[in-house]
Amino acid sequence: MSMIEGPLSGLRVIEMGSLIAGPFCGQVLGDFGAEVIKLEDPKVGDPMRQWGRSKPKGLSPWWPVIGRNKKSVTIDLRTEEGRDIARTLIAKADVVVENFRPGTLEKWGMGYEALAKTNPGLVMARVSGFGQTGPYSKRAGYALVGEAMGGLRHITGEPDRPPARAGISIGDSLSGLNAALGVMMALHARQRTGKGQVVDAAIYESVLTVMENLITEYDLTGYIRERSGAVLPGIAPSNVYPTRSGELVLIGANQDTLFKRLCDLMGRPDLVEDPRYRDHAARGAHQAELDARIAAWTADQDIEDLLPKLEAAGLATGRIYRAPDMLDDPQFQARQSIVTVPHPVFGQVKMQNAFPRLTETPGAVRWPGPTLGEHTDAVLAELAGLDAQGLADLRARSVI
């Protein structure tokens, strides 16, 4: 665990909202040293404390990750007194991250214009399904809808089956990452202008931004991209192939020089001059039959023998990893891609490190997701000036 001060040290972030999209933005900012004060409902906290397929020791293994590097402060934002406390915290913050349904903060008198009156340098990251404007803005916006509307769902899966989803809520994470990027841009602009602004990160647009040339290709040619399973249409060879041991191997050789190396390795140098495969366009047009040729070759070899040959030839290759493969891999170990963090209940818990890597001021996982309200007294005493009696009174009335 790095003890170097993170690049966002000194930045104060108030995180409101729950689940993944907004809190992932807070996770990224916290990983790089920002003080992230997460406001949670005093009774149940963020639902992520309960989510997940399994509950080792009665706790969600999801919360230690998405709650990491954050301070938990319980405030009931549905009460005017709770909102007053939140306003006091926000007046002393650089950034607010929220993912309520658009209009909620305005209803509470906590819209950006209201908050900026007392804190004109405030940057507010607003994460939602459809953005803060437009006819869909007030709709419930979950990742599954944003992924579909942004174009990802239609092209995911096998062509003879209904659209599939990624095994993670990728739309939520993309919007959280987009929000964090927007926060950095807004803070940079604030250095010049002294003014904050709103970062409006919609899930569907965050998905749309990674859809490559999907829109432009349709606009110019009328082509609608469809599901293509494990391959990208027209990009060959680049696929998963069987091996004798039953494990799949990934091979990417979709450039002329790489394809020649693969053909030499297969003992088929003649394929390089075959009109069906001699250039990128030809290989793309004959993708299925080329993949069948390669699959016939790989199916006759054990993956343990095949991988070193492919690597020695300079080809992009590898296995399809699961969690135990990541933990055992020397590349992950050498770069500490996965770190072990002490946890008060789990003992030692493993999770992904902070990325990307910065050479001088790297991010770090300083602590896992905190217990509900763990930092309430300390934060409210420091930033809201509340003494022990004031805190006790608020707690007795369930405001905190």
Q: Tell me the catalytic residues.
A: 172
CA dihedral 321, 325, 331, 335 (to 10 degrees): 100
Q: Is the peptide bond before 237 cis (omega within 30 degrees of 0)?
A: yes
Residue labelled with tokens 């709770």: 82
Residues 6+ apart with CB under 8 A from 32: 6, 7, 8, 354, 358, 361, 363
Q: 88 with 110: CB under 8 angstroms?
A: no
Nearest CA to 63 out of 392, 341, 278 is that of 341
Give the N- to C-terminal CA distance of the chain in Å, as an integer: 32
Length of the chain: 400
Question: What are the backbone dihedrals phi and psi of residue 345, each rounded to the nearest 5 degrees, phi first?
Answer: -110, -45
Question: What are the backbone dihedrals phi and psi of residue 124, each rounded to the nearest 5 degrees, phi first?
Answer: -115, 115
CA dihedral 272, 273, 274, 275 (to 10 degrees): 120
